[in-house]
Amino acid sequence: MKELKISLSKKTEAKILTEGLKIPKASCEISIDATFILPKIKNHGLKLDAVFLSAIAEIIYINMPYINVSWLEEEGGPKLISHENLNFGLALEAKNGLAVATIKDVERKNLWQLNSEIKELAEKAKQNRLGVSCFKPKPNIVFNNIGIYPNIARGDSLMQPWNTLMVSAFRIIETPVVFKRYIMVRPMMNVIAFFDHRPIDGASAAQFLNLLKEKIENPRF
């Protein structure tokens, strides 16, 4: 047995994640049919991440701005902070693991702008070139595209102390389903919303996932 050296970044990450365990986290799960989104993504050269970020931004900005919040525990008592802008975290494959970069002001960017920014950030992450500015401000909403990993159909996610909502999309799997009263094989994916149950209740999380399912299954671009 040999003791391994723990890097400073790994120690910092462990401390943050341990602190995040204090969040009273809950989750809701939904199954989304990717039949119509897949050819759209291929034909337009889009990343699935961009499609999800665009859909999530539209839902929150137009339909559910009240979930763009942060719950802060302070000495004088808890505070609920409402955010005007949408600053999303995006989990990216980095040279030494995963990195959650921030995409700022998502509500001001169209699908193509998001797609371009995500490609640029992904390339920087692989080359370990994400600077400090790529992680600010700390995002209260995060998207994880876990579908890039083969055979992972579902799983749990750890939230960081400043996260309020985390959306994880898993692998698209050919699945027999009942569609228009017939049993058909369709490309289905599990999508799970993990949320801080202090500012967001289960009804809001369920409403959010149903709106997300509607947008992904009926792409309008």
pLDDT value of position 145: 93
The burial class, CB within 10 Å (0-12 / 13-18 / 19+), for 150 is exposed
pTM reported for the whole predicted model: 0.93
Residues 6+ apart with CB under 8 A from 213: 30, 32, 191
pLDDT value of position 211: 98
pLDDT value of position 63: 97
Say which CATH topology domain 23-217 has.
Answer: Chloramphenicol Acetyltransferase (3.30.559)
Tell me the two tokens of residue 49: 């991440």
- State the alpha helices, DSSP H only, in 21-171: 37-44, 48-58, 111-126
Q: How far is CA 156 from CA 112, 144, 159, 170, 192, in A?
A: 30, 11, 10, 11, 9
> At residue 116, what is the residue type?
S
pLDDT value of position 75: 85
pLDDT value of position 180: 84
Please say whether the dihedral angle defined by the alpha carbons of residues 210, 171, 28 and 166, taken in this order, is positive or negative: negative
Per-residue pLDDT 10s for the chain (221 aa) are 889 888 877 888 888 889 888 999 999 999 999 999 999 999 999 999 999 999 999 999 999 999 999 999 888 889 999 999 999 999 998 877 788 999 999 999 999 999 999 999 999 999 989 999 999 999 999 999 998 887 787 888 889 999 999 999 999 999 999 888 999 999 999 999 999 999 999 999 999 999 999 999 999 98
User: Is the distance from CB of 67 to CB of 81 less than 8 angstroms?
Assistant: no
pLDDT value of position 97: 77
| Separation of first and last alpha carbons in the chain | 56
pLDDT value of position 101: 95
